[in-house]
Amino acid sequence: MEKQTEIKPTSEFALEVQEGLTAFPKYLSSKYIYDKKGDKLFQTIMNLPEYYLTNCEFNILEKHKAALSDYFKDKKGFDLIELGAGDGKKTKILLKYLTENNIDFKYLPIDISQNILDDLESSLTKEIPKVNVETLQGTYFNVLKDLANYNSRKKIIMVLGSNIGNLPHDKAIDFLMNIQKAMNPGDMLFMGFDQKKNPQTILDAYNDPTGITEAFNKNLLERINNELDANFDIDKFKHWETYNPETGTAKSFLVSLEEQKVNINALNLEINFKQWETIHTEISQKYDDDVVEWLANQAGLKMTEFFCDEDCFYKNYIFEK
Ligand code: AVI
C-alpha cells in the first residue's frame, strides 16, 4: 500500500503524478516528457533512422507542395496556422514554395514554448526572409479560440508529426472538435497521421538501439525527481514497447527491474513497486483511412483529400467543416 499523508499537490503536474502513480496499474502522461531535455531528446528521435515518420512527412511535403499550394491558396490570401511548430524543419518546405511562388499568406506558428518560437522566427528571418510570420505563444486551444474570428481570410490549420497519435480516440475526437470549432466553412485542417504497417517497423521506431527513446521515456522520472523532489533510480527501470496490430496502438512502458520504494517528497508520498510492475507512459496510435474518417466525422469534419509517401507509411489528410 502507498503511504500518504495529507498534502495538497499544487500544480497540475504534481496532481497527475499523484493520481497516476497511486492508480492500478500505474500510469503517467507523456505530455510531461517535454521539458527542455525532453524537447531536445525528441529532436534527436526525429533524426533517428528508425523513426521513419520524419522522412515520410518530409517526402510528402516535398512531393506534393505544388498540389498543396493549390488547395490552400485563396484570392484574399490565407493564414497558415501551425499547432506545435517545433523547429519548423518540415514546414519550411511549404513556406519556401509558397514564398517563391508569390502566394499571399501569413504564417502563424503556435507553441507553448516562447523559446521555440523565438528560434523558429530567427531561423526564418535568415532562411526565408520574405515570409510574413507572426508567432503566437500559448496552449493550442486558447490561441485557437482567439483565432476563431481573427479575420475573414481562409484559415489553414496545420498539425504535423502525427501528434494526434499520442491521444486515445476519445481525446483525439475532443482535439479535432476544438479545431473544428475554430474553423469557418471553407477553412481547412491539414494533419499528419502515421499509418498501420509491418509491426516490426513500428516497434523498431520506438525502440532504437542507441537508447534515445529509452532516455526520452525515462525523462518523465527525471522530471519527477527534479521538480517534485523524488528519488527514482532510473537505472532500475526498463523501457518497454509493445504494438498491437489489431488496434494499431503502440504503447510505451517503464518496467521496474526489482522490488523498490520511491519517495516523492513534494507529495509526501511513498510509492512501492513490485518486481516487473509497469508504469504506462505513452501511446502512439497508428491509423488507417476508416479510423481517420470515423474520428473526423465524430468531430464534425469531413475528409476531402489525402497525400501519402511512396510506401504509404504515413498520410497527411485535408479536412473541411
Ligand atoms: C510526438 N509524438 C508524435 C511522438 C510519437 O511518435 O508518438 C513521440 C515519440 N515517442 C517516442 N518516440 C517519439
- Rounded to 10°, the helix 12-21/212-227 angle is 110
Best of 57, 197, 282, 286 to mutate for ligand 1, by most ligand atoms within 8 A of CB?
282
Of the pLDDT bands very low, low, confident and very high (cuts 50, 70, 90), residue 26 is: very high
Query: Does the pLDDT of residue 237 top 60, yes or no?
Result: yes
Of the pLDDT bands very low, low, confident and very high (cuts 50, 70, 90), residue 221 is: very high
Best of 28, 34, 43, 45 to mutate for ligand 1, by most ligand atoms within 8 A of CB?
45
The pLDDT of residue 8: 64
pLDDT (mean) for 117-130? 94
Of the pLDDT bands very low, low, confident and very high (cuts 50, 70, 90), residue 147 is: confident
Cα-to-centroid distance, 73 and ligand 1 (Å): 31
Cα-to-centroid distance, 76 and ligand 1 (Å): 36
Instruction: Please give all residues whose beta carbon lies within 6 A of any atom in ligand 1, as ranges.
Output: 45, 161-163, 165-166, 206, 213, 216, 282, 284
- If one compares 250 and 115, the residue with the highest pLDDT of the two is 250
* CA pair distance 304, 184, nearest whole angstrom: 16
- If one compares 3 and 81, the residue with the highest pLDDT of the two is 81
Q: Whose CA is nearest to atom 7 of ligand 1?
A: 284
Lowest mean pLDDT among 55-69, 83-97, 207-221, 288-302: 83-97
The pLDDT of residue 217: 98
Averaged pLDDT score across all residues of the chain: 94
Of the pLDDT bands very low, low, confident and very high (cuts 50, 70, 90), residue 7 is: low
pLDDT (mean) for 91-101? 98
What is the number of the ligand 1 atom nearest to the C-alpha of 250? 7
Q: Whose CA is nearest to atom 5 of ligand 1?
A: 284
pLDDT (mean) for 177-196? 96
Best of 111, 167, 206 to mutate for ligand 1, by most ligand atoms within 8 A of CB?
206
Cα-to-centroid distance, 54 and ligand 1 (Å): 11
Of the pLDDT bands very low, low, confident and very high (cuts 50, 70, 90), residue 151 is: confident
Residues paired with residue 256 on neighbouring β-strands, in sequence order? 237
Within 10 angstroms of residue 186's Cβ, the number of other Cβ atoms is 12
Q: Which residue has the cell 532516455?
A: 215
Query: Does the pLDDT of residue 6 top 60, yes or no?
Result: no
Of the pLDDT bands very low, low, confident and very high (cuts 50, 70, 90), residue 112 is: confident
Query: Does the pLDDT of residue 115 top 60, yes or no?
Result: yes
Cα-to-centroid distance, 96 and ligand 1 (Å): 26
* CA pair distance 89, 127, nearest whole angstrom: 11
- If one compares 279 and 142, the residue with the highest pLDDT of the two is 279
What is the number of the ligand 1 atom nearest to the C-alpha of 216? 11
The pLDDT of residue 243: 98
What is the number of the ligand 1 atom nearest to the C-alpha of 194? 6
- Give the distance from CA 235 to its chain's centroid: 26
**Percentage above 70 pLDDT, the chain:** 97
Give me the helices (H) in the chain, please. Answer: 12-21, 36-46, 53-72, 91-100, 114-127, 140-147, 169-181, 199-205, 212-227, 289-298
Best of 40, 166, 175, 283 to mutate for ligand 1, by most ligand atoms within 8 A of CB?
166
* CA pair distance 42, 8, nearest whole angstrom: 32
Of the pLDDT bands very low, low, confident and very high (cuts 50, 70, 90), residue 4 is: low
Query: Does the pLDDT of residue 150 top 90, yes or no?
Result: no
**Are the C-beta atoms of residues 286 and 249 closer than 8 Å to each other?**
yes
The pLDDT of residue 5: 52
pLDDT (mean) for 217-245? 98
